[in-house]
Amino acid sequence: MNIRFHNARILTMEDDREVFEGEVWVSGDSILFVGTADEASEYMRLHQGEIPSWDSERDCHKNLLMPGFKNAHTHSAMTLMRSKADDLPLQDWLGNQIFPVEAKMTAEDIYHLSKISIMEYLTSGITSVFEMYLTPYSVADAFRDCGMRCVQTSCVNNFSQSVELLENYYNDLNGRDEYNSFILGVHAEYTCSKELLEKCAELVKKYKAPFWAHIQETESETKECMERYGLTPIEFFDSLGLFEYGGGGYHLVWTNDRDREIMKKRGLFAVTNPGSNTKLASGIAPIREYLEKGIPVAIGTDGPASNNCLDMFREMFLVTGLAKLKNMDAGAVDAMEVLKMATVNGAHAMGLDDCDCLKAGKKADIIMLDMDRPNMQPINNIPKNIVYSGSKDNVMMTMIGGIIRYENRTFNIGAEPDDIYKKAEEISKRIYG
């Protein structure tokens, strides 16, 4: 499809480029042109005969076009446990409510349950997710079939999956289709033996690849690792060579100055999950300290069992709001920095450098936000409106790779919502009885 969007407000998320009015042209799965109306006229004059015929020309009525949000940490199929495992501390939540249910889930279950989350991502303007779950092949099938971008890492641990499977996932899922890719990782230090992690380090060195895991989500997790090894999880992973080629961690709530020195030295990303960490009372991540250190931060929702909402607008507000509260400084973590976390940084954390901003040659992963809503008026500062007063209700359109997958409450994902909901109910009744 060749689509011309015109009469739009545009936020490209390029450095030092403010919101402007103009046009975005999409050809196939990529962006052909981004600029003002005058720049568009000049481009057409200079490239006569090269402009494609438009399948659609869309007047945006001054609504906002911007890059899609990147959900940099989630477990999509945990929709099954949404509102079934609430108001519990992390270890009780995992050991007594999550792991026993997961033991009953099949790969086919995970395929169908992931689709509910995919729908919710689309309604929140999310165009890519960084996924971790039990059956990577069926997860990849779900995202491919719905036409949504997914980068996976594994949840290898002492009880499920294996280092051999991790290598298979890495080789099989990278390049399998246009929507899926895979990055090396494990579940967490506290679920992995030293021997298992040493084998993972061999894979990191073999493929010269980045490495990811849940890291220092809770205070008790961090203390127990220090009791075992005399090191924090970040120090321990680094001592094994797991961060030799970069990567990062999810949560990273309980880090100290030494940890942050390692993160900076290794070029690690910090993925913060404020909704989940708040609900599970895990703590508030030191976001301002990461930014001051030059450590890039991305944002994830975590899964729908621990959050329980897959809403990037809520996460963005919590990132800045909790940072202000933690530091007792209303100026901490500016809204524009938060938008960068939710778009550019998330794309880079996932290795999706061609999906980070609106620019010619980048992938056409674009969302349109409705500016003609009360929560966006008056239009004094659009980035701050998005972070402080924006909501999923503002998402008019979500495009991935040049294909509109969600628009005006209608989905284009190869399946009917009622069929997806019905299948999820069947799975829930079978497993929960």
Question: For tokens 């036409």, what's the residue?
Answer: 147
Between the two ends of the chain, the Cα-to-Cα distance in Å is: 46
**Encoded amino acid at 143, one letter:** F
For the chain, which domains are there? 2-67+359-411 (2.30.40.10)
Q: What is the pLDDT of residue 49?
A: 86
Task: Per residue of the chain (433 residues), give pLDDT as tens.
Answer: 999 999 999 999 999 899 999 999 999 999 999 999 999 999 999 999 899 999 999 999 999 999 999 999 999 999 999 999 899 887 888 889 998 999 999 999 999 999 999 999 999 999 999 999 999 999 999 999 999 999 999 999 999 899 999 999 999 999 999 999 999 999 999 999 999 999 999 999 999 999 999 999 999 999 999 999 999 999 999 999 999 999 999 999 999 999 999 999 999 999 999 999 999 999 999 999 999 999 999 999 999 999 999 999 999 999 999 999 999 999 999 999 999 999 999 999 999 999 999 999 999 999 999 999 999 999 999 999 999 999 999 999 999 999 999 999 999 999 999 999 999 999 999 999 8
The Cβ of residue 134 has, within 10 Å, a number of other Cβ atoms equal to 20
Q: What is the pLDDT of residue 91?
A: 83
CA within 13 Å, CB half, 19: 18
The Cβ of residue 342 has, within 10 Å, a number of other Cβ atoms equal to 30
Q: What is the pTM of this model?
A: 0.97
Instruction: Express each pLDDT in 50-65 by its tens digit.
Output: 999 999 999 999 999 9
Please answer whether residues 58 and 5 qualify as being in contact, where contact means their C-beta atoms are separated by less than 8 angstroms.
yes
Instruction: Express each pLDDT in 260-302 by its tens digit.
Output: 999 999 999 999 999 999 999 999 999 999 999 999 999 999 9
Dihedral angle at the C-alpha atoms of 192, 194, 199, 202, nearest 10 degrees? 120
Q: What is the pLDDT of residue 185?
A: 98
Per DSSP, helices labelled H in 350-416 are: 382-389
20-27 and 2-10 beta bridge pairing: antiparallel
Q: Which two tokens stand for residue 66?
A: 């911007």
**What is the 3-state secondary structure of the chain?**
CEEEEEEEEECCCCCCCCCEEEEEEEECCEEEEEECHHHHHHHHHHCCCCCCCCCEEEECCCCEEEECEEEEEECHHHHHHCCCCCCCCHHHHHHHHHHHHHCCCCHHHHHHHHHHHHHHHHHCCEEEEEEECCCHHHHHHHHHHHCCEEEEECCCCCCCCCHHHHHHHHHHHCCCCCCEEECEEEEEHHHCCHHHHHHHHHHHHHHCCCEEEEECCCHHHHHHHHHHHCCCHHHHHHHCCCCCCCEEEEECCCCCHHHHHHHHHHCEEEEECHHHHHHCCCCCCCHHHHHHHCCCEEECCCCCCCCCCCCHHHHHHHHHHHHHHHHCCCCCCCHHHHHHHHHHHHHHHCCCHHHCCCCCCCECCEEEECCCCHHHCCCCCHHHHHHHHCCHHHEEEEEECCEEEEECCEECCCCCHHHHHHHHHHHHHHHHC
Closest CA to 271 of 203, 208, 348, 202: 348
Q: What three-state secondary structure class fits 28?
A: coil
